[in-house]
Amino acid sequence: MEKSCGVVLFNSDKFLLLQHNNEDSGVDGHWDFPKGHVESGEEEIDTALRELKEETNIENVNIIPSFKQFINYKIDKGTLSVSKKVIFFLAETKVWDVSLSSEHQNFIWLNFEEAIERLTYDNAKNILKEAHIFTSKMNV
């Protein structure tokens, strides 16, 4: 099983979404959260923060304790079907400027309703719903 970690990042009432390059995904430029593979010896939270920095150049964040959600799915790699687990953390930032990595072609900050519509995959939408419920209880 492959494991990745990512961040649902928010600033005020807006959530950050990244659009992948067309050649990097099975779906034409799909929209998702910053995330990536866990490297050897790396803790999950460290992976999530490293990937956020690599993909957006944002590192000034506050991880919100007690939020940890995960999704499981399968991806096709040639003739193999590989199971994948992605763990998401929730973080707040005051930074609006994003500097995209070569993996992505676009970014956008959207409120919850707009972000739900923009996200490509249902499992990402479910993670966003959980994050929204969590931030609503925090009165963010």
Task: For residue 74, report the phi and psi dihedrals to the nearest 5 degrees.
Answer: -115, 145
Is there a contact between 20 and 103 (Cβ–Cβ < 8 Å)? yes
Please give the pLDDT value at position 132.
96
Give the helix/strand (H/E) hosting 1.
Answer: none
pLDDT in tens, 60-82: 999 999 999 999 999 888 899 99
Q: Is pLDDT of 12 > 60? A: yes
* Separation between Cα atoms, residue 54 and residue 46, nearest integer Å: 12
In the chain the domains, ranked by start, together with CATH numbers, are 2-137 (3.90.79.10)
Q: In this prediction, what percent of the chain has a pLDDT beyond 70?
A: 95
E strand segments, 12-96: 14-20, 31-32, 35-37, 61-77, 80-93
Chain mean position to CA 121: 12
HSE-up (13 A, CA, CB side) for residue 133: 10
